[in-house]
């Protein structure tokens, strides 16, 4: 971590340990202190793929649920609100190709039967 993200590590050491020069520590001490950084620290978030911290994700999830409730109960046919969590995680795909919708229950049942039939055919062909 010392060579991968030195700027973030320096900021974390200053913020959490009050140390302005983490390179003055022996490598074992610096490694132990780096291992003790909390999950919301810059360095740990970087190692985790720059995901937002848990508290921010929980707040975003609450906001997503409130927006969904408002959409379902008061929506006037507007477009469903986009997910704040998905945007924070970097996978904001509103037009997911794996998502299907159906106009009637009969259309759903017909599509389901077709999928089951195709899966059974594949199993029979490939054993």
Task: Decide if 67 contacts 81 (C-beta within 8 A).
Answer: yes
Q: What is the pTM of this model?
A: 0.46
Residue 47 neighbours by CB under 8 Å, 6+ apart: 1
Q: Please tell me the distance from the alpha carbon of residue 46 to that of residue 76, in angstroms, as a whole number.
A: 41
Q: How is the chain split into domains, by residue range?
A: 6-47, 53-95, 97-127
Per-residue pLDDT averaged across 82-102, rounded? Answer: 73
Indicate the DSSP class of residue 23.
Answer: G
pLDDT of residue 59: 94
Average pLDDT, rounded, for the chain: 82
Per-residue pLDDT averaged across 115-123, rounded? Answer: 87
Token readout for 75 is: 């929506």
Token readout for 121 is: 């055919």
Between helices 6-17 and 27-35, what is the axis angle to 10°?
A: 70
**pLDDT for 37-83, tens place per residue?**
888 888 888 887 777 778 888 999 999 999 888 888 876 666 778 88
Comparing CA positions, the residue from 81, 121, 119, 115 lying closest to residue 100 is 115
pLDDT of residue 44: 83
Per-residue pLDDT averaged across 105-123, rounded? Answer: 88
């Amino acid at each position: 971590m010392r060579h991968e993200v030195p700027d973030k590590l320096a900021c974390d050491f200053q913020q959490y340990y009050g140390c302005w020069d983490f390179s003055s520590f022996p490598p074992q001490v610096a490694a132990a202190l780096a291992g003790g950084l909390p999950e919301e620290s810059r360095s740990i978030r970087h190692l985790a793929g720059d995901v937002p911290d848990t508290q921010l994700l929980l707040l975003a999830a609450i906001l997503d649920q409130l927006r969904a409730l408002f959409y379902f109960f008061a929506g006037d046919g507007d477009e469903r609100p986009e997910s704040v969590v998905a945007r924070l995680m970097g996978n904001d795909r509103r037009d997911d190709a794996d998502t299907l919708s159906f106009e009637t229950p009969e259309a759903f049942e017909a599509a389901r039967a077709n999928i089951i039939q195709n899966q059974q055919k594949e199993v029979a062909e490939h054993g």
